[in-house]
Amino acid sequence: MKMASKDKMPKSDEEWKDKLTSDQYHVLREKGTEIPFTGKYWNAKDKGIYVCAGCGMPLFDSESKFDSDCGWPSFSSPINNQNTEEKQDKALLLPQTEILCRKCGGHLGHVFNDGPMPTGLRFCVNSASLELKKK
């Protein structure tokens, strides 16, 4: 079931700036990207559920996290396909598939076709877009 845009979190830029850190705002609202190997979760091994830093939507289980050596947290699949959405990103020379939080529309990162089986996908996510709820 796709969430209608009217069901998304209607917040102004000022409300987002009040809620988020400057790094979180840059990534989630301005579609920024962290410098590789600098985010707090790129090499985290803790067990739990990664939720959207903007709205708390559950996004990825630590069980699907793997070391891709790319410098960002990488997951083989989202916790639920209904919690994320994908959109073509043509901002760079090579088109990519952007990952967004379905609830707040926050930019999470990009998905690539070079992950481990069985999905073969690598959801490359910025740490600033996530919060880990430890098990």
Beta bridge partners of 49: 61, 133
Give me the catalytic one of 52, 101, 104, 124.
124
DSSP state of 8: S
Average pLDDT over residues 41-69: 96
Coil, helix or strand for 11? coil
- What integer pLDDT is reported at residue 13 of this predicted model? 87
> Over the stretch 8-23, which tens digit does the pLDDT of each residue have?
667 888 999 999 999 9
- What integer pLDDT is reported at residue 103 of this predicted model? 96
d(CA 122, CA 112): 5
Domains of the chain: 12-134 (2.170.150.20)
Beta bridge partners of 89: 96
- Render 50-113 in DSSP notation, one character per residue: EEETTT--EEEEGGGEE--SSSS-EESS-S-TTSEEEEEE-SSSS-EEEEEETTT--EEEEEES
Average pLDDT over residues 34-62: 97
* 52 is annotated as an active-site residue: no
- Render 96-123 in DSSP notation, one character per residue: EEEEEETTT--EEEEEES-S-TTTT-EE
Average pLDDT over residues 74-103: 90
Residue 65, pLDDT > 50, answer yes
Count of positions (residues) in the chain: 135
**pTM listed for this prediction:** 0.89
- What integer pLDDT is reported at residue 92 of this predicted model? 66
Confidence tier at 95 by pLDDT (50, 70, 90): confident
- What integer pLDDT is reported at residue 8 of this predicted model? 65
- What integer pLDDT is reported at residue 6 of this predicted model? 43
Mean pLDDT estimate for the chain: 91
Picking from 100, 102, 108, the residue whose alpha carbon sits closest to that of residue 131 is 108
CA dihedral 22, 43, 122, 38 (to 10 degrees): 30
